[in-house]
Amino acid sequence: MSDDNKDQRDFWTDGGGLNWLAYEADLDASFAEIDQHLIAAGQPAGDMQVMDLGCGTGRTTRRIAQALGAGGSVTGVDISSSLLDAARAEGGTGISYLEADAQDYAFGDGAFDLILSRFGSMFFADPVAGLANLRRSLVPGGKMVLACWRRGKENPWFLVPLKAAITHFGPVGEIDPTAPGPTAFGDENRVLGLLEQAGFAEAGVEVLDLSLRYPRGIEDFIALQFKIGSMTRLIAEHEPDDAAKDRAAQMIAEAFADSSSADQVLIPARINLFTAVA
Ligand SMILES: C[S@@+](CC[C@H](N)C(=O)[O-])C[C@H]1O[C@@H](n2cnc3c(N)ncnc32)[C@H](O)[C@@H]1O
């Protein structure tokens, strides 16, 4: 087993991933609609054996379990013991969890009928190796459905805070859009190629144009953005003072002024929903 993904394991176990854990209920409320598309595309049912790849705190895992019948089961796979601890604490029938690096864990050939993932597939250091490993874990003809952000520039969730940070904290260094991270699978043609290289058939993509509903007001949304996502790198690099942070926060608030109220922020989002067959 390689240690290619040690940085990701460290991040998601006791680095920035702990901020994800702190905000996981609000993040899930924002992303819940994506699960409807994921489940409609994958159709978990009956006695299927399903993997939820990069399951985090298991919110999607539990929704998948509700779609299964007797004999069906869903395994939430994640590299972070911290997030899995939170998932396990919620329990649930027909659900188990596995701490593993999905890039190279030996799941067993044909262990799963279906793989689903909401935002858990874009972090492999070697994406072709990871996707090929997932293909081997599926029965022949088994389906995989991956929900992934499109490019950062198409998603105000990333673009607005990044612009505010560049304007008020300082320049950003070179960004490799394909480096492991939330928008690494943003370019659909690249990912369709990766799926083919990994041996998948019938690779396709549906682009979802959604309006995510963050379930609190703009001040909470801004506080989240200071902890998670595209601003955090520039905060670490430039160590902005409070005045600069206030100006950045103001810029974010203005960008969402027309779509925020006391108890919600609506954020337009573009998501790639990839499907492929083993
Ligand atoms: C953005 S979070 C998404 C969590 C969850 N699916 C959700 O939507 O709430 C990405 C997840 O992928 C997991 N992850 C990253 N690299 C992984 C790998 N190589 N193997 C398994 N899980 C991984 C992280 O630990 C994290 O829980």
pTM, to two decimals: 0.97
Judging by beta carbons within 10 Å of its beta carbon (0-12, 13-18, 19+), is residue 192 exposed, middle or buried? middle
Calpha distance 239→262 (Å, rounded): 30
In CATH terms, the superfamily for domain 6-151+176-216+267-277 is Vaccinia Virus protein VP39 (3.40.50.150)
Region 219-233: mean pLDDT is 93
- Residue 263 clears pLDDT 90, i.e. is over it: yes
| Residue 188 CB less than 6 A away from ligand 1 | no
Q: Supply 217's token pair.
A: 């007001």
- In tens, the pLDDT along 113-135 reads 999 999 999 999 999 999 999 99
Per-residue pLDDT band at 230 (split at 50, 70, 90): confident
pLDDT reported for residue 269 = 98
Q: Supply 132's token pair.
A: 């090929």
- Residue 242 clears pLDDT 90, i.e. is over it: yes
Calpha distance 127→106 (Å, rounded): 16
| Residue 200 CB less than 6 A away from ligand 1 | no
- In tens, the pLDDT along 76-105 reads 999 999 999 999 999 999 999 999 999 999
C-alpha torsion angle, residues 205, 51, 34, 7 (rounded to 10): -90
Determine the distance separating the centroid of ligand 1 and the alpha carbon of 226, expressed in angstroms: 20
Compute the mean pLDDT over every residue in the chain, rounded to the nearest whole number: 96
Do the bridges between strand 264-277 and strand 260-261 make them parallel or antiparallel, or are there none, so unpaired? Answer: antiparallel
Judging by beta carbons within 10 Å of its beta carbon (0-12, 13-18, 19+), is residue 86 exposed, middle or buried? middle
Ligand 1 pocket, mutate which of 119, 134, 185 (most atoms under 8 A from CB): 119
- Residue 28 clears pLDDT 90, i.e. is over it: yes
- The answer to whether 138 touches 102, Cβ cutoff 8 Å, is no
C-alpha torsion angle, residues 17, 19, 20, 22 (rounded to 10): 130
- Residue 276 clears pLDDT 70, i.e. is over it: yes
Going from N- to C-terminal start, the domains of the chain cover 6-151+176-216+267-277
In sequence order, the β-bridge partners of residue 96 are 75
| Residue 149 CB less than 6 A away from ligand 1 | no
Calpha distance 149→271 (Å, rounded): 5
- Residue 46 clears pLDDT 80, i.e. is over it: yes
- Residue 1 clears pLDDT 70, i.e. is over it: no
Name, in order, each residue with C-beta under 8 angstroms of 18's C-beta and a sequence gap of 6 or more.
82
